[in-house]
Chain A
Amino acid sequence: MRDLKVKTREAGEGTSVVYVNGYLNSLLGEELEQVVHDALEVGRSNVVLNFEGTRLINSIGISFIIGIVERMAERNGTLAFCSLNRINQDLLRMTGVSRYVRAFDSEEEAIAFFAQTV
């Protein structure tokens, strides 16, 4: 759980997959925000956040996710989540975030979704 790394992978035209590993709190949240910001800067308008490596998200983490949702919307980008565990799904639902962002069971599904919409 101490591995505070956010990794990015490019998956086709304008799409980035961001892997969030660890407890999503303020530290990881800041890192994540920066990574997404960078992806947008280089013209990637589709971003998939892969939460396979995230066991817990706290409220501060949620607020960073909301910041990302807002940022994406400003830039007319599209955001998707994938591989959320049940409690994290619940948290995103409770905070209303899931109503603005599509969540997929797997990374493949998310990428396929973006491929269709492009």
Chain B
Amino acid sequence: MRLLWSQGAEASFRPGEFFGREEELRSLLRVCLEGKSGIGASVLIYGPPNVGKSSLLLKLKSELKSLPQSTAPPCPFPFYYSFSNILSHPLALSQHFLQEYLWQLLVFLGESPPAAFDLDALCDALAARGHVECRDYLSAHLRYSEKGDGLSALANAFSFPFATGGELLYPVFLFDDFQYTIKLQNIPEGAIFSILRPYIKSGHFPMIVSGSSPGHVTSSLKREGLYGSFQLLEVGGLSPDASVAAWGPLFERRKIRIPEHLAVRAAVRLGHIPVYQRMLAEEISFRNVQIEDEVGLENLFALSVTEGKLNRYWREFFENAIPDRVARARAVKFLKRVICDRFPIDTFEGAFSLMGTSPEEGSEILSALEFKGLLKSDFEHIEFVRDPVLADFLFWAFERGVLGKNTSQVAASIVQAKISHDLQEGSGGEQDASAEIAKEMMRRWDCRDVPALLFDFGKFHDKYGDKGLLEVVIGLEGDPRKVRLPKISSVSKGHRTIRGGSRFDFDLVAYGFHDGDFSEENLVIWAVDVNTEKKLVQVAVEHFENRCRLLSLDKGLKPGQLRKWILFDGAADAAVVGLADRYGIHLTHRTQMRLFLNLFGMQELEKGAEERRPPEARAGEQPLEFELVLPMKADTEVVAARVAEEVAAYASLDKDTVDRIKMAIIEACINAFEHSGAETGKVRLRYVLSPERIELFVQDEGKGFRTSAKGDESKQNRGWGLKLISELVDEVHIETGERGTTVRMVKYLRPASDEGSPTTNGEG
């Protein structure tokens, strides 16, 4: 097998064009030199893709090579090796590794670079210089290759460098693109580290590992117990001075002249990242433009990021990183929200939710992004790179792909945003004040002494009655916050994940219109979440905020058009309250949900299922079944209630339970009478009594069940029926079919002692 010499980063690296990072270089150099005395550590360099990690390694290599020869041997032999993505087969990798090592060693020893990559020839040349041990390694390599034993071949090849050198030199490993070692065929992740482990531990062989996937690499390190032996070095953009200095040779070579203040601005604009600087310089030269002012610079940048070099660069990057088109689109959309719109995401769960995927699909996308260095993750948190150029690229991809805008429109908006961006700065004082109010409000709600504030009955009818609008006060007595509720046109609740469709996952979403005017401008959307945990935590607030942003992006809402509301029962820390306030989320006690739903003619949400466990069934008893057919006439529901009472008598139920069952069946009958629109005028009831529960079936033969109040019915019962039923019994199931609607209600029968003592009362 012959492998071609891959001309990688090493060939294009120009030491003279390397600027900045003096401090990093100094400490890396120290680490490398300490290998001589056996106290060398190893370093893991990580950072976003193309930020300059490889350049740093190559610069280090050239520094090591140019060390003064006066020091006593052994001297460091810098061996740069990039685990490129071409070599995913362990046999190919081990062979390439051996070739590279021998070649670089020969060059280091002063031999003129051999013309061909012939392992035998390289080995002979090295043996001629006294390094005979390489023959053993080579024959072992051939043996393993014949057997197809990739892992042994790798172990053999990677051990080889440690056997060479002796007293004269010691190898310093500069391993680049290390993340690819986890993608070797049939080789477990971290195998390379376990081969290298004893050498790393020895302290004699400094190892500088660089990669854009710190999550994977560090977890391999942890697994091998090597985490403590490595120092971590994060590489970001250059220092401002260094990046401005970096323009020098770039402009000079291309004979570009731009005013100095624009060079500074351009460096900032590019996040001080050298690779972008090179691309922008190429773009200027390619388009042969004169940059004279800020607008000119921003225009050129926008052009580059929407259709020029910067755009191509990132487009190809994403095409390589995530080959599947759908997943790629999803990843771009997701990153756009995180990096451009700054959605607060730091958990995997939040990321999946934002992507709208299942955890499996989401994990795949996240791990591809992690692998390519666009995010950092540990077991709990994830952190995304903040790269201004990437952000603009994502903006373009989103606007073009999702919203269908053309490139020049997007470029124009990028320019506009950047030109006006410099002015923005936020203020903080008001937030503190309103956070205080929110806290006080919650305290009051816990005491339940603000009912009078909830409704401004006297006024709303006069003011909004005919328009269906009203104001609710959710503030404090001293400082009430009025919230104007719009005329609600539709309400949906209990939204849960719908695959493929838009998905916002709120407990309740209400669409309404201000001033009774059903036009786009007057659209208002209420997004409501009911928090069922004991304590409202930060993650829940962030999660909610993310979904709200998603909703408002999706619907193209202006800031005031989305109202956010979290209702919760328990407590919340001041920090959480502050956070919610910052996002403009109303926090209120859960009882407010009732008010809200009542106003919208809705039923309250189901409670958590865990509260409602049926007691142990007493086996061996057959259920008793009773049936009743009611004419659809006013007050005949009382008959149904009476039968329920009699049925319950069989089970010796306590009065409270009996009353609840009666009320539930009354409400179900009323609903059947009012909403079914049945022509037969009959409602069938079935009562099924078993030891553990009583089941009630109310079946009409109508056209369907309407769950919310509409039109003239609203005056009559405002959609209370189902809401009450769900409060009164443990389970409600509604089935609508061709033959009508059946409401099935289940009440689990607990031992009488579990209930509070029933109140005796005069009979009506």
Residues of A whose CB lies within 8 Å of any CB of B are 1, 21-23, 25-27, 52-56, 58-60, 62-63, 66, 69-70, 73-74, 76, 85-87, 90-91, 94-96, 99-100
- B594 near A60 with CB under 8 A, answer no
- A73 near B457 with CB under 8 A, answer yes
A53 to B761, CA, bound (A): 9
Chain A hits for B448, CB < 8 A: 99
- B718 near A66 with CB under 8 A, answer yes
Chain A hits for B655, CB < 8 A: 86
Distance of B644 from chain A, by nearest CB (Å) = 12
- A1 near B638 with CB under 8 A, answer yes
Q: How many CB-defined contacts (below 8 Å) exist between A and B?
A: 99
A69 to B727, CA, bound (A): 22
In the complex, residue of chain A having the shortest beta-carbon distance to the beta carbon of B669 = A58
Picked from B457, B723, B764, the residue with its CB within 8 Å of the CB of A23 is: B764
- B457 near A86 with CB under 8 A, answer no
Distance of A27 from chain B, by nearest CB (Å) = 8
A26 to B448, CA, bound (A): 31
In the complex, residue of chain A having the shortest beta-carbon distance to the beta carbon of B637 = A58
Chain B interface residue number, banded? 35 or more
Q: Indicate whether B454 reaches chain A with its CB closer than 8 angstroms.
A: yes
- A60 near B457 with CB under 8 A, answer no
Picked from B458, B637, B715, B759, the residue with its CB within 8 Å of the CB of A63 is: B715
- B454 near A60 with CB under 8 A, answer no
- A26 near B759 with CB under 8 A, answer no
Q: A56-B638, A94-B723, A95-B720 are in contact. List 19 more A-B contacts (CB 8 A).
A: A1-B764, A23-B638, A26-B716, A53-B762, A55-B761, A55-B763, A56-B641, A62-B724, A63-B717, A70-B457, A76-B458, A86-B761, A90-B660, A95-B594, A96-B591, A96-B595, A99-B448, A99-B454, A99-B591
Q: Indicate whether B370 reaches chain A with its CB closer than 8 angstroms.
A: no
- A94 near B727 with CB under 8 A, answer yes
26 A-B pairs, CB-CB below 8 angstroms? A1-B764, A21-B764, A23-B764, A52-B761, A52-B762, A53-B762, A53-B764, A55-B761, A55-B764, A56-B662, A56-B666, A58-B663, A58-B666, A58-B670, A59-B667, A59-B670, A63-B716, A63-B720, A73-B458, A76-B458, A87-B656, A87-B660, A87-B662, A94-B724, A95-B724, A96-B594
- B659 near A86 with CB under 8 A, answer yes
Known: A74-B457, A74-B461. A63 touches B718 (CB 8 A): yes
A86 to B594, CA, bound (A): 20
- A96 near B598 with CB under 8 A, answer yes
A74 to B448, CA, bound (A): 22
Chain B hits for A59, CB < 8 A: 667, 670, 717, 720-721, 724
Picked from B594, B663, B670, the residue with its CB within 8 Å of the CB of A87 is: B663
Distance of B441 from chain A, by nearest CB (Å) = 16
A1 to B452, CA, bound (A): 35
A30 to B52, CA, bound (A): 80
Chain B hits for A95, CB < 8 A: 594, 598, 720, 723-724
Chain A hits for B635, CB < 8 A: 23, 25, 27
A70 to B455, CA, bound (A): 9
In the complex, residue of chain B having the shortest beta-carbon distance to the beta carbon of A89 = B759
Chain A hits for B634, CB < 8 A: 25-27
Chain B hits for A60, CB < 8 A: 670, 716-717
Known: A59-B717, A94-B724. A100 touches B458 (CB 8 A): no
Chain A hits for B8, CB < 8 A: none
